[in-house]
Structure 1
Amino acid sequence: MTDNILQLIGNTPLIETKALLGDGKNRLFGKLESANPSGSIKDRVALAMIEAAEQEGRITKDTVLVEPTSGNTGIGLSFVASRKGYRCIIVMPESMSMERRQLIRAYGADIILTPKHLDVQGAVDKAKELVASHDNWLLLDQFSNSENPRVHREKTAVEIEKDIGIPDVIVAGVGTGGTLSGVGSYFKKKNPLIQILAIEPVSGIPGCTLHSIQGIGDGFTPDNLDTNLIDDFVIVNDQEAFDGMRLLLEKEGILAGISTGAAVAALRKINEHMENKKIVYFITDRGERYLSMNLFGKEE
């Protein structure tokens, strides 16, 4: 029991998704990050960045928090900021789902939209411009803030090890690089032979067109991504990610978002070449925030 909802961030369940692929070749464990209070893995990062800034004296009651994001960090920051009494401005591409915008506004934050064709880099540039022109505005910057990988190294990875020991394979998307780098560095020290596989949208590769897998493949290499940890990339296209969302819902009853669908698509590919492995992937957010995209079925 708690009287502070922020204390419910983290310690998420790990579910063995036995029915997902159904062949029993490998054990597939989904870290249910959608169980965090505002519905995504980014609650961890939001709380860690804000509390570190508080401890360092960089935040006062008049500070305005600013963050560029493809959506989930914006929701998480809006949620944490609302509980702590801070004003928050989220800068995000106009291509992000309507539900994400609605959730951010519901938590009381302001939104500034940037042109779709500029992708997340356009939001980053706009956020930096805003902070540079206003006193007492603070850019938390999930892409380079060391609290991002730290919280996954010291908490998320520890939770996984407590539940199942050291996995053989970690499958993670590359958005900010925080999850992959944090969890990956923790387990690489425990077992250098562990495989760290990065999910990359086929159109998220530099030089390719825009993709629809919100939350990963932002079109640039973030400072928080330690590429030395990556053993291989698993390339996933939009349709494979959408199919992965539907498969997870059909087989396991888990309504999850597009980046999780991409993880399921990656699992389907690597499962063909592996056997008797403990594989961990991340159910990063809830599927409700994508319903307007009509990805789960036909409209009535």
Structure 2
Amino acid sequence: MLTIEEKFPLSRERNLVYKNCLTEIGNTPLHEFTEIPIAGNNRIFGKLEYQNPTGSHHIRIYPTLFRILESKKLIYPGITPIVETSIGNAGAAMVYCANRLGFNKPSPKIIVPADASKARIKQIAELGGDLIFSPAGRYSEGYVEVLTRMLDEDKKNKGNFGEDPTRLVAISKVIPEAKMAYEIFVKETVNQLRNIKLNNIDYFFGAVGSGTSLSGIGKYVKQAWPKSKVVAIEPQEAPVARYLRDNGKPLTAKTIPHKVHGVGTYGIPKGKLNIDFNVIDQYETFSNDDWVKTLSIVKEQEGLPIGPSTAAVMSVALKHASKFKDKSILICCYDNDWKAV
């Protein structure tokens, strides 16, 4: 199987730029939760992705996305304007990578909901992102509408992608190739588990947002451990992925009924998400009380500054652990607590 570098070749000089960027990303610690009581003699491991630059797992995918588009001659450093939609974490990660890969002039545009976390908005601005606000309360549905309008308007003036190097291009985390970036996440995990004489993961519990991390990590977890199961985690108030699977159309709402940013992507059809339903073995939900209580427990007993989405996944993993014995569970610790401020 071809590597990303082989599949999407660049010049020697540009390869070096990408290599230097990638040296700053990944190799995050694998933490075993040992202070929190876990039923059934089971073990839970969390990959501390919040220790990446910009403080989230999203940064793993953007060097891959930039490489793909540059290799296809759809973007050019210092020439092509770029844009991404985000609740905050992906936007900060995209701007960070754009700065290091030479795509920061003109400034990357990031579309975020007007009611997104102030801490996340501030981080994007400090990195040099050009913020564009979508309507408050509309979440993913709102920022996708803004992006669509921007791209359509630019197309009227500059034609199709590839025809004009100054055409606005979306650096989109929902293209299928984005999932390739999580192969190294799983390879790192395999090596870290071997160092403690453990050779198996039985379950991967992951939150469902755009689907990229859940499907990407899930895919490579199953390649590494073929008998493993992937469990998709969603809010009780917003079982978006399960609804989309069962009904073929997105779940919609006038306002977002939960408080965990990054999950429950309302109003987005299958074609604009990156969920591989074949990777998912089962669906579980969490309540608002679940993640709030678990956030406090993890901080107090494990000393980890996890954010709400990680607490939500951990709450489900802890409950699920009562259903079996002697299993190993993997979760992704997506971001820091300060990002929810």
Q: TM-score, normalised by structure 1?
A: 0.89
Match of 1:119 among 135, 139, 142: 139
Task: Give unpaired runs (5+ residues) of structure 1.
Answer: 293-300
| Residues 183-203 of structure 1: CA deviation (Å, up to 9, x unaligned) | 212232344431110110112
**Using the alignment, how far apart are the partners of 1:35 and 1:56 within structure 2?**
31
Match of 2:168 among 129, 134, 137: 137
**Using the alignment, how far apart are the partners of 1:59 and 1:35 within structure 2?**
29
Tell me the percent identity.
28
Number of residues paired by the alignment? 287
Q: Give 3-state SS (helix, strand or coil) of 2:23's partner.
A: helix
| Residues 137-176 of structure 1: CA deviation (Å, up to 9, x unaligned) | 1112212x12321111x21111112222330000001112
Runs of 4+ in 1 over 4 A off after TM superposition: 3-6
Amino acid at match of 1:252: E
Q: Does 1:44 align with 2:60?
A: yes
Q: Give 3-state SS (helix, strand or coil) of 1:91's partner.
A: strand
- The residue that corresponds to 1:30 in the other structure is 46
1:1-300 paired onto structure 2 within 5 Å: 4=20, 6-23=22-39, 25-60=41-76, 61-85=78-102, 86=104, 87-134=107-154, 135=158, 136-143=167-174, 145-152=175-182, 154-164=183-193, 165-205=199-239, 206=251, 209-219=256-266, 220=268, 221=270, 222-290=272-340, 292=341
Give yes or no for contact 1:16–1:29 (8 Å, CA) kept in 2: yes
| Residues 195-232 of structure 1: CA deviation (Å, up to 9, x unaligned) | 11011011222356531111111124453211111111
| Residues 18-37 of structure 1: CA deviation (Å, up to 9, x unaligned) | 11335572111001101111
| Residues 104-160 of structure 1: CA deviation (Å, up to 9, x unaligned) | 0000001111113322121012112112222421112212x12321111x2111111
**Using the alignment, how far apart are the partners of 2:277 and 2:31 within structure 1?**
28
Q: Give 3-state SS (helix, strand or coil) of 1:229's partner.
A: coil
Amino acid at match of 1:280: L
The verdict on how the C-alpha distance between 1:107 and 1:6 changes in structure 2, with shifts beyond 3 A counting, is farther
Q: Give 3-state SS (helix, strand or coil) of 1:264's partner.
A: helix
**Using the alignment, how far apart are the partners of 1:207 and 1:38 within structure 2?**
31
CA RMSD of aligned residues (A): 1.9
Amino acid at match of 1:113: F
Amino acid at match of 1:274: F
The verdict on how the C-alpha distance between 1:71 and 1:276 changes in structure 2, with shifts beyond 3 A counting, is same
Give yes or no for contact 1:66–1:131 (8 Å, CA) kept in 2: no
Structure with larger Rg: 2
Shift of 1:180: 1.7
Shift of 1:9: 0.5
**Using the alignment, how far apart are the partners of 1:45 and 1:91 within structure 2?**
18
Q: Give 3-state SS (helix, strand or coil) of 1:204's partner.
A: coil
Shift of 1:6: 4.3
| Residues 263-294 of structure 1: CA deviation (Å, up to 9, x unaligned) | 1111122112121111000100111222x3xx
Shift of 1:239: 2.5
